[in-house]
Structure 1
Amino acid sequence: MPAAKKTSKTVAPPAPVKAATINDIARLAGVSKKTVSRIINRSPLVRQDTRERVEALMREVGYSPDPMARGLAFRRSFLIGMVYDNPTAQFIVNMQYGALDALRDSGFELVVHPCDSRSPGYIDGVRRFVQQQKLHGVMLVPRVSEDQALADMLGAIGCRYTRIAAVALDEPSRMVVTHDRDGAAEAADYLQSLGHRDLALITGPRSYRSAIERTDGFVGALVKRGIELPKARVVEAGYTFESGVAAAEKLLSGKRKPTAIFCGNDEMAAGVYRVALRAGINIPRQLSVVGYDDSPLASRLWPPLTSVRRDTRDTGRVAAAMLIQAEEGAGARPAASVRPHLIVRDSCQPPDS
């Protein structure tokens, strides 16, 4: 009898495992979909024990919110913009690092927009940048942060923004104030305490509010101590190394030279070092020098430069964090502050008698 013919049976592949949804998370956790959404968006309106329980569940089932769907649901992107026009590269890099510190693990990303604030169409360019990227908010870095027309435009199109500036220029909830006047005054007090009375000042451009505040802070502190700074001892420069060289040549070419120079930033202070070296002027024995910013350059010069530290990275972190915090009660928040302080190194000593 012939053997029975075997029939092959097709085995169906296993059904794909369906990814968990926000509705699944809400059902499994026993909370509302709105609560899960608030936890995803880091709202402060959720109890800590509920937040921890739901986040643990999301990790357990491998749930990850779709950023595209998330953006569409809220009708905005999860992008923070940084708009700047600043000639000092290290300042911008540190500001970006600070912003990235604040945005880490938040679901937000940083996009940058360099611009030329002297260009007649730059505000329109910023508007296009904001609208094309559908930005959640914008950090305005000096010098563009000082432009009221730019802030007015952002307000008119409904874009959140924070402004970083030497003084308060807007509603407190939108400001990070760096108190440049106080930092410059501390530099003046320090040089006076060493016995310097024949001082000079290299300022940044008067179009920058930071330059005005640093100049007024330095000059004002000297006046309080009975020291008047002659106009010939104040030279305006451009916050660059080259402009610092040109300014130092004016101040150090005469017969009677200052015993100390305060510079509006470290780049210009490095220019003073260059001119002093060429002229055979010893720093600090014959000339004391103080900078501003306490950038990495300050500790790399020889002798290391005494400089006013403003924590640029922390400033960027605070400005970005303000944009992603919940808006509840934002109008009642005071302006954020980042206070400067003097870092004393080896570039200063009492004047050579």
Structure 2
Amino acid sequence: MPARTPPAPKTSVAVTTTTKAATINDIARLAGVSKKTVSRIINHSPLVRPDTRDKVEALMREVGYVPDPMARGLAFRKSFLIGMVYDNPTAQFIVNMQYGALDAIRNSGFELVVHPCDSRSPNYIDGVRRFVQQQKLHGVMLVPRVSEDQALADMLAEVGCRYTRIAAVALDEPARMVVTHDRDGAAEAADYLQTLGHRDIALIAGPGGYRSALERTAGFVEALAQRGIELPKSRIIEAGYTFESGVAAAEKLLAGKRRPTAIFCGNDEMAAGVYRVALRAGINIPRQLSVIGYDDSPLASRLWPPLTSVRRGTRDTGRIAAAMLLQDSAEAASALSLHSVHPHLVVRDSCQPPG
């Protein structure tokens, strides 16, 4: 009896694509279907039989095929890219905003691309225009402070690019706005310090060119005034939303004999600067000095003592702004109410009644 020929070893189809990334043409050839069928499956069309969809999707997973957003945009005459434009000195704020945007677009087929810029540069709007047109963006998230620039918003409208603006107050139509109500958050911080019994209070404000800084300053000062506490100009120092600027401002406030008993800072980075100066000067937080920040970033719970801070919901804000861009154009245009993220104070261990 002649010996049986052993069966040929099974070969994964992925072997055929190890030399280069698989393309949509490879998937169609290996699955024995048309390129149009593969495209329909990628874009979740109902015009495909379930057994065919299952076979093609299994093959795409096996060979590690990932659709190219730019190629999809060309095929469907629209882009599958969402842009995020920002000019903000606080790295954690930007990271949290990106996390929120990614939450919104997960499993949607869209991808996020970011564009840092310097809004003080005279040609930064031209740079954003090139970014939008070269990437053929579906839409753009505008993050403070560039979101506060009406000329930038006008340019995007001119080139026909959808956008959402994140700002402390409403600056545009409801379909384009996510409002963060910074004035209310700062007022809550003022109420808390007043309730503890503080009357000699100082403020380290953000840069005057930022609407968020103006709103937080106004909210804090007005809330204290309503309770009969005047904040003199000597107790208000403008800083730059950075750790280093917080150190410089705290050195001015804590150098004299008559120190404030409490300091409210426009963000957590500047509050960390106050911690450093207080430690160097032997000033105990909170026994001799109460400190409140704004943002409730991860830094707030890592400082010692943990920092009381106004939570602004940055990740939620990014998620809402990105999700608005994914809405149907007609649905978005019909929006009548503003999208809002309301801040609230998170009390930790950095404040107590004045000694």
TM-score, structure 1 normalization: 0.85
1:62 aligns with 2:65: no
Work out which of the residue numbers 317, 329, 343 in structure 1 matches 2:331.
Answer: 329
Q: Does the alignment pair 1:346 with 2:349?
A: yes
Q: 2:278 is matched with which residue: 272, 276, 279?
A: 276
The Cα shift of 1:328 comes to: 2.2
| Letter of the 2:338 counterpart | A
Q: How many residues align?
A: 318
SS in 2 for 1:349: coil
Letter in 2 for 1:190: Y
Per-residue CA deviations over 1:205-247 (Å, capped at 9, x if unaligned) read 0100000000000011111111111110000000011110111
Does structure 2 retain, via aligned residues, the 8 Å contact 1:202–1:235?
yes
Gap runs ≥5 in structure 2: 1-28, 61-66
1:79 is matched with which residue?
A: 81
Judge conservation of contact 1:161–1:323 (CA < 8 Å) in 2.
yes
Q: In the aligned structure 1, how far is the partner of 2:52 from the partner of 2:218?
A: 55
Q: State the AA in 1 paired with 2:275.
A: Y
Report how far residue 279 of structure 1 moved: 1.1
Could you tell me which amino acid in structure 2 is paired with residue 219 of structure 1?
A: V
The aligned amino acid for 1:102 is A
1:298 aligns with 2:300: yes
Instruction: Give 1:283 deviation, angstroms.
Output: 0.5
What displacement does 1:164 show? 0.6
**SS of alignment partner, residue 330 of structure 2:** coil
Q: Is the 8 A contact 1:25 1:54 kept in 2?
A: no
User: Does the CA contact (< 8 Å) of 2:245 and 2:273 recur in 1?
Assistant: yes
Q: CA distance change for structure 1 residues 225 and 314 in 2, over 3 Å: closer, same or farther?
A: same
Mark the CA change 1:255 to 1:335 in structure 2 (over 3 Å): closer, same or farther: same
Q: What one-letter code is carried by the residue in structure 1 that aligns with 2:281?
A: A
Give SS of 1:62's match: helix
- Asked whether the 8 Å contact 2:324–2:332 carries over to 1, the reply is no
Name the counterpart of 2:180. Answer: 178
| Aligned counterparts, 1:224-239, within 5 A | 224-239=226-241
Structure 1 residue 56: deviation in Å? 5.2
Question: Hey, what's the Cα distance between the residues in 2 that align with 1:17 and 1:285?
Answer: 71
Aligned equivalent of 2:33, options 15, 19, 36: 19
Q: Judging changes above 3 Å, is the alpha-carbon distance between structure 1 residues 76 and 197 closer, same or farther for their aligned structure 2 residues? A: same
Of the three residues 303, 306, 309, the one matched with 1:307 is: 309
C-alpha separation between the residues in 2 aligned to 1:330 and 1:55?
32
| Residue 162 (structure 1) aligns with | 164
1:198 aligned to 191, 197, 200, which one?
A: 200
1:132 correspondence with 2:134: yes
Identity of aligned residues (%): 79
Instruction: Report runs of 4+ in structure 1 exceeding 6 Å deviation.
Output: 23-26
Q: CA deviation at 1:76?
A: 2.4
Give the AA of the match of 2:306: P
Partner of 1:287: 289
Distance in 1, Cα, partners of 2:344 & 2:287: 24
Aligned-residue offset at 1:330: 1.6
Change (3 A) 1:79 1:250: same
What is the distance in 1 between the residues matched to 2:257 and 2:343? 35
Matches of 2:257 and 2:71 in 1, distance apart?
71
* CA distance in 2: counterparts of 1:55 and 1:307, whole angstroms: 54
Instruction: Report the equivalent of 1:143.
Output: 145
Structure 2 CA distance, aligned partners of 1:278 and 1:255? 16
State whether residues 78 and 108 of structure 1, in contact with CA within 8 Å, keep that contact through their aligned partners in structure 2.
yes
After superposition, give the CA deviation of every residue in 1:177-228 in whole Å (9 maximum; x if it has no partner).
Answer: 1110000000000110101111000000010000000000001111111111
Q: Distance in 2 between matches of 1:254 and 1:131?
A: 54
CA offset digits 1:3-43 (Å, max 9, x no partner): xxxxxxxxxxxx964225656999xxxxxxxxx99855xxx
Aligned to 1:101: 103
Structural RMSD (CA)? 2.2
Structure 2 CA distance for partners of 1:328 and 1:58, relative to 1, 3 Å: farther
Q: Could you list the runs of 5+ residues in structure 1 that have no partner in the other structure?
A: 1-14, 27-35, 41-50
Conserved 8 A contact 1:306-1:343: yes
1:82-116 Cα shifts (integer Å, max 9, x gaps): 11111111111111111111111100001111100
Q: Which moved more, 1:280-289 or 1:55-64?
A: 55-64
Q: 1:261 to 1:68 in 2, by over 3 A?
A: closer
Shift in Å, 1:169:
0.5
Which amino acid letter does the alignment assign opposite residue 334 of structure 2?
Answer: A
Equivalent residue, structure 1, for 2:4: none
TM-score, reference length from structure 2: 0.84
